Amino acid sequence: MFNVKTMNKIAAVGLNRLPADTFTVSDSAENEDGILVRSAKLHDYPFPESLLAIARAGAGTNNIPVDKCAEAGIVVFNTPGANANAVKELVLCGLLLASRDVIGGTEWVKAQAKTEGVDVAAAVEKGKSAFVGPELYRKTLGVVGLGAIGALVANIGLNMGMDVYGYDPFLSVDAALRLDRHVKVVKDVNELYRNSDYITLHVPANANTKGSVNAAAIANMKDGVRIVNMARGELVNDADMLAALASGKVARYVTDFPNNTVTLADGVVPTPHLGASTPESEDNCAVMAADELRDYLENGNIRNSVNYPSVAMDRSGVQRICVLHKNIPNILASATGTLSKDGINVENMTNKSKGEYAYTMLDISAPAAADALAHIKAIEGVIRVRVI
């Protein structure tokens, strides 16, 4: 039996993917083998030695100490693309909110209705000019990040009659195939900045991207640019954004990550982190996270991990050995050599690396003896060994 702890409410359609005859799932589990989490912060959570994997029902993993987990041989999964349609739709809403002051206009109309003696219909006709804004049609949209969400946004921009520029230094083949051929993919983000009337952000927050929308970046943008951020608040330097809004360099900033610094500033449209807040998205993320966790616990397969490589292999042999290790020479040779000394044949094998970490799966012809497993665990650079 595998013991799984839920750190947030996980949609039942996802939990149902973990059969009761193999998994015990509870929010009070102890010595858990796996964790299912959405937004709960795990940086100060004391991970038990039994913990093998964490599956985040969502794309971002800022709430998980990913590096610490890698060092401990804990695989961290996310669910890229599971909430892509939900975020895409909110981005479309954000583009419209960046153009027309719909929220300000709505509040003003309600205020008129509350004022005694005001004919609302007449007041609207007199006052509507204060809330006008440009159309999206024939404007230029810049999409920074062309992953699952960014590609959808780029394509819908074309469908709206916009000219679309895209930038992604790590554009994958799969992502490129999802893009409409009319998207202008550029190699320099500043080219996107110079040409775009609207800019939407779709990159993770990491050491390379935090604060990347700053005074220097904004200086390369068009005057009156409108920026939509449904990715991560940390991507934008708040002080520089406020200065750009005050000067008019940025006409509107729509953010799904409000904070005390930017929320009340003129030109800011804050939304309460609604990007993935649809029942369909929550179901998709829960199913994907549960499937990833189950496949790893039962079979050792890794799909969509943020700290270890994606490695999957059909089962063969009588036993599977999974080795999480540093990406250094001789580990694979040492492990297979140990097994061969005991006359054990490796029937199937796969190995991949991701940065400084690597993962090896060995399907073997006979069960490995305890001393052989201990020898593999003792190899320099080996972090964890699992036997399935």
In the predicted structure, residue 106 carries a pLDDT above the cut 90: yes
In the predicted structure, residue 151 carries a pLDDT above the cut 90: yes
What's the rounded mean pLDDT across residues 313-336?
Answer: 96
Could you tell me if 237 and 126 lie in one domain?
Answer: yes
* Two tokens, residue 307: 């700290």
Could you tell me if 144 and 282 lie in one domain?
Answer: no
Residues in the chain: 388
Could you tell me if 112 and 258 lie in one domain?
Answer: yes
Which of 270, 300, 326 is where one domain is finished?
Answer: 270
Print burial letters for 307-326: b (CB count within 10 Å at least 16), e (below 16). Answer: bbbebeeeeebeebbbbbbe
Cβ atoms of 248 and 224 within 8 Å: the answer is: yes
| pLDDT (0 to 100) of residue 176 | 87
| pLDDT (0 to 100) of residue 160 | 97
Residue 387 neighbours by CB distance under 10 Å: 14
Of the candidates 65, 64, 19, the residue with the CA atom closest to the CA atom of residue 37: 64
Which of 218, 249, 270 is where one domain is finished?
Answer: 270
Could you identify the residue written with the tokens 């004919």? 119
| pLDDT (0 to 100) of residue 100 | 96
Could you tell me if 192 and 264 lie in one domain?
Answer: yes
| pLDDT (0 to 100) of residue 173 | 85
Could you tell me if 119 and 218 lie in one domain?
Answer: yes
Could you tell me if 101 and 219 lie in one domain?
Answer: yes
HSE, side-chain direction, 13 A CA sphere, residue 163? 7
- For the stretch 238-263, pLDDT in tens is 999 999 999 999 999 999 999 999 99
| CATH number reported for the structural domain that contains residue 332 in this entry | 3.30.70.260
Could you tell me if 47 and 20 lie in one domain?
Answer: yes
Taking the C-alpha atoms of residue 86 and residue 88, their distance in angstroms, rounded to an integer, is 5
Could you tell me if 74 and 139 lie in one domain?
Answer: no
Could you tell me if 114 and 43 lie in one domain?
Answer: no
Could you tell me if 210 and 300 lie in one domain?
Answer: no
Burial of 270 (0-12, 13-18, 19+ CB in 10 A): middle
In the predicted structure, residue 136 carries a pLDDT above the cut 90: yes
Domain count, the chain: 3
Could you tell me if 142 and 20 lie in one domain?
Answer: no
SS3 164: strand
Domain of 350, in residue numbers: 311-388
Could you tell me if 202 and 291 lie in one domain?
Answer: no
| CATH number reported for the structural domain that contains residue 1 in this entry | 3.40.50.720
- For the stretch 205-225, pLDDT in tens is 888 999 999 999 999 999 999
Percent of the chain topping pLDDT 90: 95
